[in-house]
Structure 1
Amino acid sequence: MIKHGRYWALAAASVVVVVFGSAQSTGALWRDDAIVSGGTINSGTLDIKVGPAGAEVNDYVLAALGGTNLGPNGFSQASLSIKNAGNVPFDYRLQSTTVTGTVPLTLTASLVGAAADCPPTTAPTGATQLYTGNAAGAQAPMAPAARLLAPGAAEVWCFRVSVGIDPPKSQSSTVKFSFRADQT
């Protein structure tokens, strides 16, 4: 019986040594002090607005970009103003597009000088093409690139959606545009 008691005493002592040894190895504190000269912290507002030039809002339905009974190679075209309504510059881009419906659409996105440069029935004038391709999943410019927009400034985009040579009959599709803005 004395032998068993020694083993228990040795086992208990080992556990106590392990517990105290573990506690001692995990305790550490760091401290540092530094004196910093005064500075100024400024806050700002990042606010992207879309819509007709001069009347941009947070969410806008671009109703002019649509049509009924578009024949082979038919298209619809409309302008959209993108405005920096905040007080800090930002980089922005057309982040993504989503298409719902059964009509396959091609999207062309161009930058124009004014809404009048994006007429509904003819090619835009003085346009810089930013994207052309499938309307679903469009991004312009491609990430990580972006367009810089100063506070109070605006740019006008011209969007054209086109159907192919043999569009499905009595079907429709809708395109949703999502823009992203990041403070520079």
Structure 2
Amino acid sequence: MTNKHGRYWALAAASVVVVVFGSAQSTGALWRDDEVVGGGTINSGTLDIKVGPNGAEVNDYVLAALGSADLGPNGFSQAPLSIRNSGNVPFNFRLQGTTATGTVPLFLTATTVVAEDNCPATGMPTGTTSLLYSGNAGGAQAPVPPAARLLASGAREVWCFRLAVGATPPQSASSTVTFSFRADQT
């Protein structure tokens, strides 16, 4: 009789296992919906960010003034960059990232200024300024995502970039920094 009850328990346990594994199925559904809406207006626009000297902004620009062949210890190079919305829709933009290559460690400072003249090659930026970024030149983002700066159609903003070396830069070495900007329609 004991043997008979053992078989029932084994049979019951096997049935539970079949029920558990047998019910692990997946289901799927395909949803579709249509809606008719009244007439409306669809407008298109042009989103176009340009960089370079004021009045001569382009898609790709080499900021040659931001560099020096003879930066010594604690030296820096500073230059302005005009960022213009040459499209016909406002956009949010930011410095999406920077890539620094080479062996000279560089420290980047990005500040907004009113005009190119407020970003002299020597000295601090002048006039009304706003610090956007201060840190390692590689991997910089300003403002930090998801934040961005609004730029109206036809408007421009001037950024003052400063690249500085430390107290003991390597001799006979060089580095290059590439700036990438991103613009998104508002």
Q: Give the TM-score taking structure 2 as reference length.
A: 0.81
Q: CA deviation at 1:71?
A: 1.1
CA distance in 1, matches of 2:35, 2:74: 69
What are the ranges of 5 or more consecutive residues in structure 1 without an aligned counterpart?
1-25
Match in the other structure for 1:118: 119
- 1:167 maps to what in 2? 169
Q: Partners in 1 of 2:183 and 2:75 — Cα distance?
A: 32
User: Residues 38-117 of structure 1: matches in 2 within 5 Å?
Assistant: 38-117=39-118
- Separation of aligned partners in 2, 1:70 and 1:33: 65
- What is the CA–CA distance in structure 1 between the aligned matches of 2:90 and 2:118, rounded to whole Å? 26
The code of the aligned residue for 2:81 comes to: L
Percent of matched pairs sharing the same residue = 75
Distance 1:145 1:130 in 2: 11
Deviations 1:32-85 (A, max 9, x none): 654421100000000000000111000000000000221111000000000000
One-letter amino acid matched to 2:175: S
Q: 1:166 to 1:40 in 2, by over 3 A?
A: same
Give the corresponding residue for 2:139. Answer: 137
Deviation sequence 1:147-184 (CA, Å, 0-9, x none): 00000000000000000001110100000000000000
Partner of 1:18: none
Cα RMSD after superposing both structures: 1.6
Aligned amino acid, residue 89 of structure 1: P
In structure 2, do the counterparts of structure 1 residues 38 and 180 end up closer, same or farther at CA, with 3 Å as the change threshold? Answer: same
Tell me: CA distance 1:132–1:36, structure 2 relative to 1, closer, same or farther (3 Å): same
Structure 2: gaps spanning 5 or more residues: 1-26
Rounded to whole Å, the distance in 1 between the matches of 2:143 and 2:151 is 14
Distance in 2 separating the partners of 1:176 and 1:155: 19
Number of matched pairs: 158
